[in-house]
Amino acid sequence: MTEVEDTLRATFGRAEDHAPRLPALLAERLVVVHRRRRRRVRTAMAAAAVALAVGGTFAVTRGGDTITAVPASERYSAKPDAPVRQVWPRAVKEAPAKGPGGLDWRLDALIDDRTALMVTVTADVGRDAALYAYDLEDGTQREIVTFPEPEDESGHANGIAVGGGHVVWWTGSKDRVASLWTVPVDGGKPRLLGTRSIKEGDGSGIDRMAVAGDRLVFSLYTGGVFSVPLTGGTVEPVEGGAGMHLLSWPWIGTPGPGGEPHGTVYARIVNVETGETRTAVTEPGEQIQICGVTLCFGQNAEGRSLVRHRDGSASKALPGDVALMDPPTQDRFFVSTYGDGRPEGVGLYDVETGASGDLGIRGDGQLISLPSTEPTGRLLSYKRGDRLYLIDLAKLR
């Protein structure tokens, strides 16, 4: 049995006593995941167990460029007001679903307001093949770098992020060392910034990366925040970052999203630049699953999904049940299934205004795919047919 299979089965085993009954063969469906995706899957499965344990609508597992939702109850969010392009016409962009060489596109980040960082993915093993700068206005593309083919699966590119004119990522190795890489967004030869050993038994390595000024910052799946100069050098621990996880620089927090379910994710966060600390407020009977810098998400004493500020103020009940792997995007938006007794489609919902838009994604009665979010939480992406749809949440404000 593979590491992924062990993790998935163990995760659902721990959640079984508290979770609603899952559809037949769910575990078997979830374990059919290529090893290439194991890092994404392990983090996602931890979130899935949390959602199930508190009676969430569905279990979730991140697979490649989508999140697949499996229904576990019959309550869903309200049907959106209208198609997303009609509700927020300035926010919707499109691109072909396939890039150079007929390989699938995957959106990984935004370089600037107009340019997306896109990755071509091989069909055989799901390996990241090359990075491109893609112009969202005119559809032109420019290759930044072609990734060398790794000697084994641990050497694949992971955790791609961009900032300050640099693209960064990491690769693993059989001897449990994470190598940190960079290349200019204008293109060039990859350059090694530094290395960091990975704790024995940690199959996920680095859980989040970001460019902060002239440094690359990252956190480990097992906890601990570190940084290294973009010019290269020694990887150093961030002061106050022991056992913490990167949320959104300069905010770090605990507990992290990976590993076994263990309370509210990012319940306590710290601004490493100012020293400000924020702790999520939980009222009696509530189960708060995950928090961002400002908003928290969970269920109230009646079992209804809610979002509210960390300090307990501005609480809002959400229509239907929602299960989130990440905090509300941009501390304002969330994506959820809707339908009458089963997931019929997927909507984008604005917590502040109550507006909603139908993404046009349809389910098959048992499974439905949700959009992916790039690291900053600004862009949603999903495929429909031969098109890749991109939604710029900054244009919804």
Q: List, for residues 108-124, the tens digit of each pLDDT value.
A: 888 998 999 999 998 87
Tell me the C-alpha to C-alpha distance, in Å, between residue 54 and each of 264, 267, 281: 11, 16, 17
Residue 331, pLDDT score: 76
195 burial (CB, 10 Å; 0-12 / 13-18 / 19+) is middle
Rounded Cα distance between 282 and 257, Å, is 18
* pTM listed for this prediction: 0.79
Q: Do residues 361 and 347 make contact, with C-beta atoms less than 8 angstroms apart? A: no
Rg of the chain's alpha carbons, rounded to an integer? 20
Rounded Cα distance between 228 and 231, Å, is 8
Residue 76, pLDDT score: 65
Q: List, for residues 167-192, the tens digit of each pLDDT value.
A: 999 998 878 889 999 999 999 999 99
Residue 20, pLDDT score: 31
Q: Do residues 252 and 233 make contact, with C-beta atoms less than 8 angstroms apart? A: no
Q: List, for residues 204-221, the tens digit of each pLDDT value.
A: 789 999 999 999 999 998
Question: What are residue 170's DSSP bridge partners?
Answer: 158, 180
Q: Output the six-digit token pair for 262.
A: 């263990």
Closest by CA position to 347, among listed 90, 107, 87, 66? 87
For the chain, how long is the longest CA-to-CA vector? 56
Q: What is the fold, at CATH topology level, of the domain defined by 82-396?
A: Methylamine Dehydrogenase; Chain H (2.130.10)
Residue 368, pLDDT score: 82
Residue 324, pLDDT score: 63
- Helix, strand counts (H, E) of the chain: 4, 31
Q: Which amino acid is at 244?
A: M
DSSP 148: P
Residue 153, pLDDT score: 59
Q: Do residues 255 and 262 make contact, with C-beta atoms less than 8 angstroms apart? A: yes
Give the end-to-end CA distance of the chain in Å, rounded to a whole number: 47
Q: Residues in the chain with pLDDT < 70?
A: 1-76, 151-155, 200-203, 259-261, 319-327, 397
